[in-house]
Amino acid sequence: MSARGDQFDVVVIGGGHAGAEAAWAAANIGARIALVTLDASKTGVMSCNPAIGGLAKGQIVREIDALGGLMGIATDATGIMFKVLNQSRGPAVRGPRAQCDRHAYAREVKRLLGTRPNITQVQGAADSFRVERTASGHRRVTGVEVLTPNGGTTVLHAASVVLTTGTFMRGLMHRGDAQTPGGREGEAPAVGMSATLRALGFELGRLKTGTPPRLDRNSIEWDALENQWGDDPPTPFSELTDPRSFPRMSQIACKMSATTPEIHELIRANIHRAPMYSGQISSRGPRYCPSIEDKVVRFADRESHHVFLEPESFESDWVYCNGIPTSLPSDVQDGIVAGLPGCHRAKIVQYGYAVEYDMVIPSQIDSTCMTKLIDGLFLAGQINGTSGYEEAAGQGLVAGLNAARFADGLDLVRLSRDEAYIAVMLDDLCTKVPTEPYRMFSSRAEHRLLLRADNAPDRLTPKGRQLGLVCDERWARYEARRSAAQDLRTTCEQTRITARPLSELARAPRFSSNDLVSALGSTGKQWPRSVVETVLADLQYAAYEPRYRNEIKRLSESHARQIPRDINFLGIEGLRAETAQVLDRFRPATIGQASRLAGVNPPDITLLLCAMSRHQPTPS
């Protein structure tokens, strides 16, 4: 791939987590990228909680890393507290999480992007797309018009575009009855893109999210609060992280406080001033990350909710109040914070707020992240109705990969639901109409016993290597890991304790990685801790794996079949009208996606398969 001047292979719009991963992935396979941002200094900024990972989200970050992404690398370089959640439960539902230094993380993302000379930063606001008709009648993107800071316009020509607007598309912030245009505190919204997308025929929706107040570290009574420490030793996210120099930053403890009945009464007395309850906001927010006013209303029997006080950086005195996102007026937020144990004299340095933003109904993309209306236009992140840095980054990686492949005339890549949490998310987005911001949970993944955080490299690094995403260093580490794992499995089979193979003893539910290391002590060998944990999990889930594999094989043979994009669902003989309308609206890319649509039954799939066998493609 090559280009000159204003000619690029891929234009990526937005420098958040989705945009950064999209630019990184496309650049790693050789594309020339223009990365368009309203403010280049904000690239990689953590808009809300400066934390990466968590339950199910941690699995996504490990998958991003296994596919050569940057989020795990940046997290390991800037994490200030690492903790694996759900350690008392099985390996499949454990979620690695890290509190990061907010400022260091953004710098590290910018540094990493700067190591790719084929990424060009362009500062400005994407205003509209250049679109043309192909010989087959499809529309195809050919470039982006960008409004420059000096008031001019420039055109970036490209074969594909990745749009990652975050919360900025017609963003409107709410605090009490005050409304301020913007996608993030102190930053202007992207105004024109919504009208551009509507004019192109896209159906838009509107969602909201929120953020809590930040406190001055020096005004908190730290000694009165309970410590929340990370793991010792901590677990890194990236396979490229050298254990000998990890962690790279000093580690801290977070503190735990809690709301009180008095705080709840204050909120109830002022609930009419909350934009969600006054009618000022009508869009839906994330059900599983509700505002504190929403918690008080929905869980009226609860007298208290945890609040975690998390330092945001070694470079500032800001402390993030995890657990009380709110859009209540400033005076009410003052009362809430003053009522928290340890915060009686705490000073708020930034008040919480809610932000409403436009999104594209995600049934208008397929699982490659390319839109169904315009070839070469890809969407990633909150524009698709998701919430969270991790969900955005996973989409960004897939969108960047496929945008670069599209520009090079290659087939687009679809991950399957048995391969990755990222694939589960994208498939869900394509087959469901969101009523709230989509958040990944382990319960959404039917093959979660196979999709663990620990085995992400084994699942995805070979695919990443095949696609050109995985560098030589990462591949060498993967091969060393694979060799060590095979050696450990053989050793477990050959080592006998009380006349039983260690591989059999290790299948006991409460048998831990420490138990395995101890039992192997007599062999005189040592293996990396990550390898020990993966081999142990494989042994403990061995009884379930054949059933999973057989089911996956059975379904994949039919579900992977691609549906012709120009098939006329409304004209399929014998298909119920309501089913035909659902298929025509969502236009699923595969039989698997069609089967997961609400209202589509097995007999409908049979009729669809018959219609596909008779289908004559439209001449291109």
Determine how β-strand 348-350 pairs with β-strand 318-322.
unpaired
Mapped onto helix, strand or coil, the DSSP state of residue 537 is helix
What are the boundaries of each domain within the chain? 214-355, 472-546, 561-614
pLDDT of res. 604: 85
Q: Other CB atoms closer than 10 Å to residue 285's CB: what's the count? A: 22
What class does CATH assign to 214-355? Answer: mainly beta
pLDDT of res. 132: 96
Contact 31, 402 (CB under 8 A): no
pLDDT of 221 higher than 90: yes
Mean per-residue pLDDT, 585-609:
85
Mean per-residue pLDDT, 280-304:
87
R_g of the chain, CA atoms, integer Å: 25
pLDDT of 476 higher than 70: yes
pLDDT of res. 255: 95
pLDDT of 151 higher than 80: yes
Please write the tens of the pLDDT for every residue from 528-567.
Answer: 999 999 999 999 998 887 777 777 776 666 777 889 988 9
- Per-chain mean pLDDT for the chain: 92
Q: Which two tokens stand for residue 95?
A: 């979620």
Distance from first CA to last CA of the chain, Å, rounded?
25
pLDDT of res. 289: 78
Tell me whether domains 214-355 and 472-546 share a fold: no
How would residue 619 be classed by pLDDT, with cut points 50, 70 and 90? low
Which residue pairs, CB below 8 angstroms and at least 24 apart, start in 218-224?
218/317, 219/345, 219/346, 219/347, 220/255, 220/309, 220/319, 220/342, 220/343, 220/346, 221/342, 221/343, 221/344, 221/345, 222/255, 222/342, 224/341, 224/342
Q: Where is 295: in which H helix or E strand?
A: helix 292-298
As a whole number of angstroms, the distance between CA 460 and CA 397 comes to 13
Kindly state the percentage of the chain with pLDDT values over 90: 74
Contact 166, 190 (CB under 8 A): no
* Bridge partner residues of 447 (DSSP): none
* Bridge partner residues of 161 (DSSP): 11, 377
- The one-character DSSP state at 408 is T
Residue ranges in 314-420 assigned as alpha helix (H): 330-339, 389-407
pLDDT of res. 191: 83
pLDDT of res. 2: 38
In sequence order, the 6+-apart residues with CB closer than 8 A to the CB of 568 are: none
pLDDT of 178 higher than 80: yes
pLDDT of res. 565: 87
Is this model's pTM higher than 0.75 or not?
yes
pLDDT of res. 203: 95
- The one-character DSSP state at 347 is P
CATH of region 561-614:
1.10.150.570
Count Cβ atoms within 10 A of the Cβ of residue 130 and give its class: 0-12 exposed, 13-18 middle, 19 or more buried: middle
Mean per-residue pLDDT, 369-387:
96
Q: Other CB atoms closer than 10 Å to residue 133's CB: what's the count? A: 9
Written as one letter, the residue type at 559 is H
pLDDT of 610 higher than 90: no
Please write the tens of the pLDDT for every residue from 106-123.
Answer: 999 999 999 999 999 999
Place of tokens 């919430």: 387
* Bridge partner residues of 33 (DSSP): 10, 119
| Residue 337 CA: distances (Å) to CA of 179, 317, 327, 342, 461 | 22, 16, 14, 9, 46
pLDDT of 236 higher than 90: yes
Structure-derived torsion over alpha carbons of residues 557, 376, 74, 188, reported in degrees to the nearest 10: -130
Written as one letter, the residue type at 584 is D
In sequence order, the 6+-apart residues with CB closer than 8 A to the CB of 213 are: 321, 324, 326, 333, 336, 337, 348, 350, 351, 352
pLDDT of 3 higher than 50: no
Please write the tens of the pLDDT for every residue from 346-360.
Answer: 999 999 999 999 999
C-alpha neighbours within 13 Å on the C-beta side of residue 170: 17
Q: Which two tokens stand for residue 370?
A: 């390319």
pLDDT of 270 higher than 50: yes
Q: Which two tokens stand for residue 490?
A: 């053989």
Q: Hey, what CATH topology would domain 472-546 get?
A: Arc Repressor Mutant, subunit A (1.10.10)
pLDDT of 244 higher than 80: yes
pLDDT of 4 higher than 60: no
Mean per-residue pLDDT, 375-389:
96
As a whole number of angstroms, the distance between CA 521 and CA 502 comes to 12
Kindly state the percentage of the chain with pLDDT values over 70: 98
- Percent composition of the chain: helix, strand, coil (DSSP 3-state, to 5): 40, 20, 40
How would residue 345 be classed by pLDDT, with cut points 50, 70 and 90? very high
